[in-house]
Amino acid sequence: MKKIIFASTLSLISLASHAQVKVNAELKNLIGQSFGYFPKLKEVENTVVTAQEKLALTQLNKFPEVTADASYAYVRPKIELPINGEKFQFAPLHNLNGAINANYALFDFGRLQANINRSKDDLQFAKHQVEYTKAQLAFQVANVYYNIVFLQKAISIQDSVLSFLNENRRIVESQLANGTALRIDLLNIQAAIDNEKNRKIDLNNSLQKQLNLLEYTTGNKQNNGQNFDFDVNLTDANNALMTAQTQNPDFILAKDRIKQANSDLAITKTADKPVIGLRAAAGVKNGYVPYIADMRFNYLTGISFSVPIYNGGKNKQQQKLQQNIIKQNEMAVESLSSTYKKDIEQALTDISANLERIKNTQGQIEQAQTAQQLASVRLKNGTGTNLEITNASTNLQRAALTRLQYEYQLCLAKLELTRLMGYQYW
């Protein structure tokens, strides 16, 4: 019943996490592909199998150990005594022995259970390590995905700038033919076109690198994203930190380390406990008087008791060491909380600042568009100059790229906040 309740709670937490985050289907699909493709994740997943095998090995210690032994020994000198005038031999020269031996720890006062608990902790840590790696990989894929969206949009802006400049070059060429423009005007506008082409080449180069990185992480080089559509429900820093402390894999792993350290302490405390065991053996051997050469069946059963008495205080020192390791791990969680609070506050600040910046760029873009249109009309009418056209184009491009940069930064800030809070969006 407890397992059912626990599983239901985890399901509700997962659904709540998904409800807090908005992400498009393509990005989800790419992240899913990365989970099945990226070699590092497969390597980490194999640690779960290793931990499972270790747990199974530890649990096998609850069963008795059975061994088969056989031996031969040639013994000299011959053991003889004179009895009634004759020599009587008490031990054979050729000693033969074969036996089946069994040993079983009847009471170990918690030793085995402590080691089983430690192996279970290791298994849980390995599973959480997989979730941590998935979260890191998903964050990397999402970053690459929106880097590609940004670069594609920036290239689109460059295309519009080049289209505008090419159209104005045709106007200047026509005016030059009519004698109303100078050749220097044509050379200036061509220089501006060449400069914008070089910027586009740089953007295409960056885009190709991001596509290569996408293929490296997912095995897929296709990205049809058009918008910065990643979104997360905003909250204050304290609530975000509380969410992170329960859902972020960093905190989960840190708490696992505390649990592992406690298990190590429990193992150390059992080192001074006694062990009560059963022992049994059955076999055949020679050497039984008076027929010392005959092989005879024999057996034994018994109880063993072992208790540590003195080891120089090593066990007590080991316990002190483990207690300090526990304290160290607890302090690490506190440090992690402090770091995450700072990062969460920074992410929220970035989100707020970029939202304000985006609002402020709207007027700049409208003004730049109007100035560009006026400059174009003036050039067609012969009253404008190439310098006005170039400046107008540059100002519009700068305003559009600035807004795009703010939208991109806003998306990354939301993605970072989601990562910090430990939401699963895949």
Q: What is the largest CA-CA distance in the chain?
A: 150
For 298-310, what is the mean pLDDT? 93
**Full-model pTM:** 0.83
User: Average per-residue pLDDT in the chain?
Assistant: 88
Give yes or no for a contact between 289 and 161, defined as CB atoms under 8 angstroms apart. no
Given pLDDT bands bounded at 50, 70 and 90, which one contains residue 79? Answer: confident
**Per-residue confidence band for 6, with pLDDT thresholds at 50, 70 and 90:** very low
Nearest to 89 by CA among 101, 78, 77: 78
Lowest mean pLDDT among 76-85, 240-249, 391-400: 391-400
Peptide bond into 77 cis (omega under 30): yes
The better pLDDT of the pair 156, 183 is held by: 156
Average pLDDT over residues 379-393: 66
Query: Highest mean pLDDT: which of 193-202, 215-224, 322-331?
Result: 322-331
Q: Give the pLDDT of residue 16.
A: 53
Beta bridge partners of 335: none
pLDDT band at 401; cut points 50, 70, 90: confident
Question: ∠ at Cα 359 (357, 360), nearest 5°?
Answer: 65
SS3 1: coil
- Which residue from 408, 425, 410, 423 is spatially nearest to 347, judged by alpha carbons? 410
Helices (H), 227-273: 237-247, 249-269
Q: Look at residue 323 and tell me whether its pLDDT is greater than 80.
A: yes
* Segment 15-24, tens digit of pLDDT: 455 568 999 9
pLDDT bracket for residue 386 (50, 70, 90):
low
Which tens digits make up the pLDDT trace of 100-142? 999 999 999 999 999 999 999 999 999 999 999 999 999 999 9
Contact 181, 424 (CB under 8 A): no
Task: Say what percent of the chain tops pLDDT 70.
Answer: 92
Is it the case that residue 65 has pLDDT exceeding 70? yes
CB distance 265 to 324 below 8 Å: no
Q: Please, are residues 393 and 161 in contact by the beta-carbon 8 Å criterion?
A: yes
pLDDT tens digits, one per residue of 263-289: 999 999 999 899 999 999 999 999 888
Report DSSP state, residue 60. G
A 10 A CB-CB count for 53 gives 12
Tokens linked to 305: 């008791």
- Write down the pLDDT at residue 373: 75
- Tens digits of residue pLDDT in 33-43: 999 999 999 99
**R_g of the chain computed on alpha carbons:** 39
Rounded to whole angstroms, how far apart are CA atoms 260 and 269? 14
Task: Output the pLDDT for position 12.
Answer: 44
Question: Each residue of 198-251: pLDDT tens digit?
Answer: 999 999 999 999 999 999 999 998 888 889 999 999 999 999 999 999 999 999
- Mean pLDDT (whole number) for 57-74: 95
185 Cβ partners below 8 Å, 6+ apart? 172, 175, 176, 385, 386
Q: Compare 155 and 291 and report the one with higher pLDDT.
A: 155
